[in-house]
Structure 1
């Protein structure tokens, strides 16, 4: 009885069968190989400034910035508005714990500790948020 007939998975274990020669798979290449006698063209690096609509790692900041809106497909400078965020509430809590009662509500009116919400001026869609914490 041949060793291959014992195997249940329809393939041979390398080295167990004499009638099948195992070979290494061809090397993996991301680009197709050019025909013989020709050389492959060198890849051209494109230098573009990242925009929020195309780059998922785009980070908003506290100032208005250029943005490619994915809703209205226009390049606009964002409008910013301020929203009380986690940092403002943490400062309120800290001031309360330090018994500075008269000043404990100041972080709720100081915009420098608020989160910044970026919206598209064309379609009024919220495109991003800069969170202080």
Structure 2
């Protein structure tokens, strides 16, 4: 979810750009599904579910990373 903020790097009032990045929770679920016998690539479904991924917030003006939300 984008957030309204003032960028500490460029000083502009912005709404952050969010990018979903696979994190520890995504990899943990993928590994768990693989170990329990989910074959045919089903273990990679974790990489398609945004609620399992980490979120990177960045400034749309200067492109700097402002915050990184870790799910796990």
TM-score relative to the length of structure 2: 0.89
1:39-63 Cα deviation digits (max 9, x unpaired): xxxxxxxxxxxxxxxxxxxxxxxx1
Divergent runs of 4+, >3 A: none
Partner of residue 64, structure 2:
125
1:5-54 Cα deviation digits (max 9, x unpaired): xxxxxxxxxxxxxxxxxxxxxxxxxxxxxxxxxxxxxxxxxxxxxxxxxx
Structure 1 unaligned blocks of 5 or more = 1-62
Aligned residues: 71
Specify which structure has the bigger relative contact order, considering alpha-carbon pairs within 8 angstroms and separated by 6 or more residues.
Answer: 2
TM-score relative to the length of structure 1: 0.51
Aligned residue for 1:117, secondary structure, equals strand
Q: Distance in 2 between matches of 1:71 and 1:132?
A: 25
Structure with the higher strand share, 1 or 2 = 2
Partner of residue 77, structure 1:
15
Aligned residue for 2:56, secondary structure, equals strand
Q: Distance in 2 between matches of 1:101 and 1:90?
A: 16
CA shift for structure 1 position 109: 2.2
Q: Find the structure with the greater CA-based Rg.
A: 1
CA shift for structure 1 position 67: 1.4
